[in-house]
Chains A and B, each alone.
Chain A
Amino acid sequence: MRNILSTRVLKVVATLLIAVFSAPLSAYDVEGDAANGKSLFNANCASCHKLDKKLVGPALGDVTERRELDWLLSWIKDNAALRASGDADAIAIFEEYNGSVMTAFPQLSDQDIYDILAYTIEGNQKAAPVVAGASGAAVAAAPEKDYSVPVIIGLSLFLAFLISILYTVKNTLKVVKGDPTSNFLDDAGFWTRTVVKSQPFIVIAIIVVSVTLLQQTYYGLMSVGMSTGYQPEQPIAFSHKVHAGENQVDCNYCHSSARHSASSGIPSTNVCMNCHMYIDGSEITDERGNLKYDGERSPEIAKIYAAIGWNPEERAYIEDYEQKAVKWIRIHNLPDLAYFNHAQHVKAGQVECQTCHGPIEEMEEVYQHADLSMGWCINCHRETKVQVETNGYYAGLHEQLKEKYGDEPITVEKIGGLECGKCHY
């Protein structure tokens, strides 16, 4: 959470700083809110335009230098009408791009367009390093591993070792001196000696130690085969945080079969290409707001291109390319003997993905959230209510169940969700 917040803070600060300090470089000033412009740009324009390079349509970073404001307004709102009016520039650009028609945006107000244009001006200057002052907040976000437990254990062992050496030395000296040797207890105070030597203390201590050991052994054994937290390194450093979190891509967009099938489906590479045909990662910034790959294509996204055979320079699929599947590492592994169906849970049960997969939209790298043990499944089946009210399948059954259970909630358990054969066959 901290991570996300800090990144957002950073972005807002950076945007504000840019807004204040950047000098207008364009031929004319555009009165607009670049922040709003950015979101409008991303929603409406980004699938065909980039600021710094040609995509489906021309690069827009310097569009205010190239075109008059009025022309831009009428072009963006209805380019077909502008072309029909015989505007030479409009026809020229239409022909330059082989007659591909740009979507008309009559829904955008003038102010919206000003905002977008303001963003194109500012965004175009972003390639330059951002003012250093903004970076302070971001540094704290670096993740820290907790080493306290092993350090404490190690230190105590080391101390114990030192003590035993000290005693050996002490006793050796005593032997040399001819004095009787002594141990730790002899040297300890009266109370310590009494307590340690008392039978009740010994009995209680043994009980406490053995119970703790047994408990730990039990938990240890019960966790055999559980892979909670399993976080393998994937062939592509895909970030659910970026996709599902920051960009709010619906889970079902990529995992489209979750609603239809037992398997949620790892998206096929062509699904990635729906977006990544246009987004090549060159705009990804790091925490400081610097371009992560120096404006070059992201090497991770290049892996998608390599898999499917896309030539980003020519913006075309390579013919007769030998496609290579991406071999993801499966994280959530149920044993073959258990049958799990995504559609049953996602579509019929209306269960959120996060219920089992955890805060997936915050995971940079996905890890296994739940332990996926049978007890965990069963527990959920005991507590989760069935969609008896809304799903037509249950219409008749619901009446019968109401009669049988009265006002009690109808849980999965009550419709046989704990029976062996519902999952094991």
Chain B
Amino acid sequence: MAEQKQYWKGMAELDGSVSTSELGKKEFPGEIPMEDFLGDAQSLENGSTSRRDFLKYLGFSTAAATMAACEAPIIESIPYVVKPDELIPGVPSYYASSFYDGHDFASVLIKTREGRPIKLEPNTDSPFNGGTNARVQGSVLSLYDNGRLKEPMKGGEATDQAAFDTEVRSKLDAANRVVVLAHSVSSPSYKKMMSEWISANPNVGFIQYDSVDHSGKLDAWEQMTGVRAMPSVDMASARVIVAVGSDFLSSLNGQSVSKGYAVRREPGKDMSRHYQFESNMSLAGANADHRVRVKASEQAQVLLALYNEIAAKTGGSPLNKAKLGTAAKSMIGQAAQDLLGARGASLVINGVNDASAEMLAAGINRMLENEGRTVRMDERLYIRNGNEAALQSLIKDMKAGAVDVLIMDRVNPVYDRAEFAEALEGVAYSVCLTDRMDETAKLSDAVFPSTHYMESWSDQMPKDGFLGLTQPVIRPLFPASRPAEESLMAFAGMSGTYYDYIKKHLSPTLSSRGISWSKMVHDGFAAVEMGGSAGDMSLDGAQLAQAAAAVGAMKASEYEIAFYEKEGMGTGSMSNNPWLQEMPDPITRTSWDNYLTMSPADALSLGVTNSHQQDGSMKGTKVNIEVNGASLNDVPVLIQPGQAQGTFGLAVGYGRTDAGKAGNGIGHNAYALMKDAGMWAGAKVTASDAEEHEFACIQLHHTMMGRQIVKEVGLETFLNEPAKGKGGWNNRTEFETHKGPLSPDETNLWQDFDHETGHFWNLSIDLNKCLGCGACVIACHAENNVPVVGKDEVRRSRDMHWLRIDRYYSSDMTDERAEEEGIGAIDKFKGMEDPAVEPQVVFQPVMCQHCNHAPCETVCPVAATSHSAEGLNHMAYNRCIGTRYCANNCPYKVRRFNWFLYHENQDQFDVNYAMNDDLGKMVLNPDVTVRSRGVMEKCSMCVQRTQYGKLEAKKQSRPLRDGEVQTACAQACETGALVFGDANDGDSKIAAAKKDERMYYLLDEVGTQPSVFYQTKVRNQA
């Protein structure tokens, strides 16, 4: 008797949602665009070409193509006429340099091949910011941006340098008031140059500002110490970290603290505990042990409450009461207790750009005895020096016509300050030094192209006692361009090159410390003091009371908007960088966009939805936003778990109109909503009637649905309970067999490879140290010639990243809770799909796992993917015929298919200028094949690097040293979350990591025996 059982294919079918029933009917999720492909049907029918003719033509053209292919092309091989001594064709040279664009500072090594810079690597010798974030990694592509300005422009017409300088000088001579506007300047030589110019011409003024303003905080420090500079922090010494509204893991006032942070994330007794109070889900919040959602207006209140809590316990005098909800209050009490338990080794970080809030944070750090320990006033930062008040008064003066000549050095105020365009009309003569015809340059009278930092000399002093040097590694690609500093020198009437100027200025300081100029250039940095002495912080009760009163007087609104920077885009100055545009945001996993992030509860009440489409993409409702009288219409909404209710987030850096072909028209300009560069404000949001927005979101599943994809354990459990054995927190999967319980390794059908002999390349990924920043993704892009596919293709989940960083939210529904509350299986799994209201976040980088029993290898009909004795899964592109069986059989979904020809295909992939533009192509790594249409590709574990490292050892007749060979991702990882090496080398770091009790394989139960493994995440919760 056959039973009438009904099977359903998944939860969605049981739900009876429309999309599944529709999907069931057709094979292809979208209509096949036959008409587009063949032209219109009618003319096709009326055409005179018969089937026979068609076959004839087809046959003839095939034969002709075959004949033509027999002729080998003549390839020229052109040597140097005079070869530079330091260069061997085919061998890379590295130059130490510094990256600084007014926003990020990094000590870097620039890898050049045959004189072309092709990759950035961290200068690990450098004691300050010796790591590279995604933007720094991506900056090498900006060098080859053909959208850069090539000629000096005067009134929209190209001109030459001499005529340009003459005109500017004559305008300067006639001017009563001249203002030079720049981003934060940290260069001692630049400062010297400006002061020389100003002392000779008192009518010249110099104003610095930051696109994303920090002057509230700077004002506080100026009041407290007399110096307009913020202290650096010693993150590695902080056992308890409380951050309020600060995404400090992206950048803390320009200082990169992730390395120090990661030191304390090593699980053990000394592991740090991190509390985060914030509105938007930030990278720091995602990594916090405790994260509390507060509205933007409440952030300063949190600091006030924390101050009072700690003051009460240390016998200090409390200030006026904070206005806060109960949830935040209880967590503040707990945080205060932890902070007090770690006096002198704790840190309170304020991210609110407000003098009062900053003073409260400083007050708390003083009570906690952190001054001079974790808060280093003796090592102040000079990466954020902007003065918004000065800029605002400049704008007023400009409107009043009181500025005759305005020189803008590599800034874009028309884009990032709403009123600037209007004010610029009041300036008699405006000069713009810029790398492209951007929004500001378009409205300027004269524009001079400035060189990329890889084409010019400059010096930086980002921190007391640390001097960085930027050196050119290639001649200016556009000969008419020159360093912005040299333009300024020309305007100021100074002679000589900026190189001579720097050298002359730095040499006395350097030689007094016994550092030669050659050493400075070789190292790229030096430990040098140049002026500035440690100032003591004065902060009295009256100041604090005043600050508390100011905080108390802050007004909350029903709905607020908090502006933030995205990890990939920063302030938007590198907007025309397709690598950064395509990099999925670590939190939202969405690329090529900015959007209003909104909590699920607010979305419900405002009637805003996100819906998943048949083709696996996402659509979302658009809204109109009104802030301070300014408005942005039709901004898409992305519903963000963990977003504070009542506060929306909107990223700056988008909505460029004149950035270039990759950056124009992407997203909306959040700066337009800011008043006086305020980072949060009350907002009015109404649903818009506009058509739904199409997101390029590559991860629609928010949760792990109860599976052990990321293993996580509490610190207490980790310290006190066994990892293996009964009830262990990191047991391997076991199968019951007739031989007793066996691990997946022991129950497989396949023959094992010999991995004892020779190298065995393994990669360990420490989920405790992975902060999700995505620097590895861009490093992989640059190293492996990964194509950019554009928003439309990303929407179809055809992104080509070899390395993705999955982000999972925790869910309120667990097996235990379902059992306790008697919740049925269906409701349980449904609930597991939804992220918690206060979700915990985990990041998991996933690249090819290089399985030693690889499912992809067994299904390839042409053996295009095969195994290596060194534990790698090789992919021979030229052998691949594109069946995509391997991708379908890959349990990790890491294989990427070239659906189109992404290179030499300007019509379709113009934004991928690294492969479609003669200039852009110079960034390609000559050691890695550029893949063609119709072939599969995937992470190769940087086989070109392992091969190179082995060969170097062979050439020198010595064994390979541990750490000598690094994959691009492991090298870019500042925190050391990724460790690569030869697991057969007993003394290597990777061999130790493989034996670590936290080690586990992703989807171990599948029995793939990967060469990549993970380290269980440990969370330090109270």
Q: Which residues of A contact B (CB under 8 A)?
A: 224-225, 227, 230, 232, 256-257, 259-263, 265-271, 307-308, 323-330, 333, 335-337, 339, 341, 343-344, 347-348, 390-393, 395-397, 400-401, 404, 415-416, 419-422, 424-425
A397 to B756 alpha-carbon distance, docked (Å):
10
Residues of B within 8 A of A416 (CB): 758, 868-870
A selection of 8 A-B contacts at a CB cut-off of 8 Å is A262-B927, A268-B80, A333-B75, A337-B929, A339-B947, A393-B953, A416-B870, A421-B943
Give B73-107 interface residues, CB cut-off 8 Å to A: 74-83, 88-91
Binary A-proximity of B938-958 (CB < 8 A = 1, otherwise 0): 001001100100110111111
> Chain A residues with Cβ under 8 A from B864's Cβ?
420
Of all chain B residues, which has the CB nearest A263? Answer: B90
Residues of A within 8 A of B959 (CB): 392-393, 395-396
- With A328-B76, A392-B958, A392-B959 known as contacts, the answer to whether A260 contacts B88 (CB < 8 A) is yes
Among residues of A, the one whose C-beta sits closest to the C-beta of B79 is A266
Q: A230-B72, A420-B876 are in contact. Are A391 and B81 (CB under 8 A)?
A: no
Q: Which partner residue on chain B sits nearest A390 by CB separation?
A: B957
Chain B 737-771 per-residue mask, 1 if CB under 8 angstroms from chain A, else 0: 00000000000000000101110000000000000
Are A263 and B947 in contact (CB-based, < 8 A)? no
Shortest Cβ distance from residue A350 to the other chain B in the assembled complex, whole angstroms: 11
Query: Bound complex: CA of A378 vs CA of B326, how far in Å?
Result: 73
Residues of A within 8 A of B877 (CB): 337, 424
A347 CA to B89 CA, complexed, in Å = 16
State whether the Cβ of B878 lies closer than 8 Å to any Cβ in chain A: yes
Chain B contact residues: over half helix, strand or loop, or mixed?
loop
B1006: interface (CB < 8 Å): no
Structural contact, A348 and B954, CB atoms closer than 8 A? yes
Cα-based distance from A230 to B756 in the complex (angstroms): 45
Report yes or no: B758 in contact with A393, Cβ–Cβ below 8 A. Answer: no
- Which chain A residues lie closer than 8 Å to B950 at the CB level? 393
A343→B955 contact, CB < 8 A: yes
B870: chain A residues within 8 A (beta carbon): 416
Provide the residues of chain B in CB contact with A324, threshold 8 Å: 81
Q: Give Cα A395 to B954, complex, Å.
A: 11
Complex CA distance for A114 and B758, rounded to whole angstroms? 62
CB pair B88–A347 under 8 Å, yes or no, is no
Interface residues on B, range: 35 or more
* Complex Cα–Cα for A196 and B575 (A): 83
Which residues of chain B have C-beta atoms less than 8 A from A390's C-beta?
957
Decide: A328 near B869, CB < 8 A? Known: A265-B89, A347-B955. Answer: no
Query: Could you say which residues of chain A place their CB within 8 Å of the CB of B951?
Result: 341, 343-344, 348
Contact B758 A270 (CB under 8 A): no
Give the distance in Å from the alpha carbon of A169 to the alpha carbon of B83 in the complex: 75
Q: Which residues of B contact A422 (CB under 8 A)?
A: 868, 947
Q: In this complex, what residue of B is CB-closest to A254?
A: B79
Q: B303 within 8 Å of A by Cβ?
A: no
Contact B957 A392 (CB under 8 A): yes
- Residues from chain B with Cβ under 8 Å of A341 in the complex: 947, 951
**Besides the contacts A328-B77, A337-B929, what 9 more A-B pairs have beta carbons closer than 8 Å?**
A225-B70, A266-B77, A327-B76, A333-B75, A347-B954, A397-B758, A420-B875, A421-B868, A424-B929
* Residue B331 CB within 8 A of the other chain: no
List, in ascending order, chain A residues with CB within 8 A of B867's CB. Answer: 419
Q: Which residues of B contact A415 (CB under 8 A)?
A: 758, 869
Are A268 and B90 also in contact (CB < 8 A) when A333-B72, A404-B754, A424-B929 are? no
Say whether B943 contacts A337, CB under 8 Å. no
B-side contacts of A225, CB under 8 Å: 70, 72
Least CB separation from B874: chain A residue = A421
Q: Is the CB of B868 within 8 A of A269?
A: no
**A348 CA to B956 CA, complexed, in Å:** 9
B879 within 8 A of A: yes
Q: B residues bordering A, Cβ < 8 Å?
A: 69-70, 72, 74-83, 88-91, 754, 756-758, 864, 866-870, 872, 874-879, 927-930, 940, 943-944, 947, 950-951, 953-960
The number of A-B residue pairs with CB atoms under 8 Å apart is 162
A383, chain B: closest CB distance, angstroms: 19
Q: Could you tell me the distance between the alpha carbons of A425 and B865 in the complex, rounded to whole angstroms?
A: 12
Chain B residues with Cβ below 8 Å from A328 are 76-79
B867 to chain A, nearest CB (A): 8
On chain A, the residues within 8 Å of B756 by CB distance are 400
Task: Please name all residues of chain B whose beta carbon is closer than 8 Å to the beta carbon of A343 when the two chains form the complex.
Answer: 951, 955
Q: How far is the CB of A243 from chain B (nearest CB, A)?
A: 16
Q: Which residues of B contact A259 (CB under 8 A)?
A: 955
Interface pair A420/B74, CB less than 8 Å apart: no
Is there an interface contact between B955 and A260, defined as CB atoms closer than 8 Å? yes
Select B83's contact among A268, A335, A397, beta carbons within 8 Å. A268
Partner of A257, one of B82, B89, B954, B960: B89
CA distance A259 to B953 in the complex (A): 13
CB distance from B948 to the nearest CB of A (A): 9
B88 near A257 with CB under 8 A, answer yes
Which residues of chain B have C-beta atoms less than 8 A from A266's C-beta?
77-79
Measured between alpha carbons, how far is A256 from B80 in the docked complex, in Å?
Answer: 13
Query: Which residues in B have their C-beta under 8 angstroms from that of A307?
Result: 81
Contact status B79-A267, CB under 8 Å:
yes
Contact A325 B80 (CB under 8 A): yes
Residue in A227, A326, A395 whose beta carbon sits within 8 Å of that of B72 in the complex: A227
Q: When chains A and B are docked, how far (Å) is the Cα of A397 from the Cα of B955?
A: 16
Q: Which residues of A contact B874 (CB under 8 A)?
A: 419-421, 424-425
Per the bound structure, the CA–CA distance linking A166 and B356 in Å amounts to: 117
The CA-CA distance from A267 to B958 in the complex, in Å, is: 29
Task: Report chain A residues within 8 Å CB of B75.
Answer: 329-330, 333
CA distance A327 to B79 in the complex (A): 8
Most buried by B among A271, A327, A343, A421: A421
Give the residues in chain A near B878, CB-CB below 8 Å: 335, 337, 424
B929 adjacent to A419 (CB under 8 Å): no
Bound-complex Cα distance A267 to B83 (A)? 9
Q: A307-B81, A344-B951, A415-B758 are in contact. Are A421 and B89 (CB under 8 A)?
A: no
Residue of A with least CB distance to B758? A397
Question: Are B872 and A421 closer than 8 Å at their CB atoms?
Answer: yes
- Asked if A393 and B74 make an inter-chain contact with CB atoms under 8 angstroms apart, the answer reads no
Please indicate which of the listed interface residues B70, B77, B870 has the most CB atoms of chain A within 10 Å of its own CB. B77
Give chain A residues whose Cβ lies under 8 Å from the Cβ of B76: 327-330
Q: Within the complex, what minimum Cβ distance (angstroms) separates B927 from chain A? A: 7
Chain B residues within an 8 Å CB radius of A401: 757
Q: Do A232 and B81 touch across chains, with their CB atoms under 8 A apart?
A: no
Residues of A close to B69: CB separation below 8 A: 224
Contact between B927 and A339, CB atoms less than 8 A apart: yes
**Residue in A323, A395, A425 whose beta carbon sits within 8 Å of that of B81 in the complex:** A323
B866 in contact with A420 (CB, 8 Å): yes
Chain B residues, Cβ within 8 Å of A325: 78-81
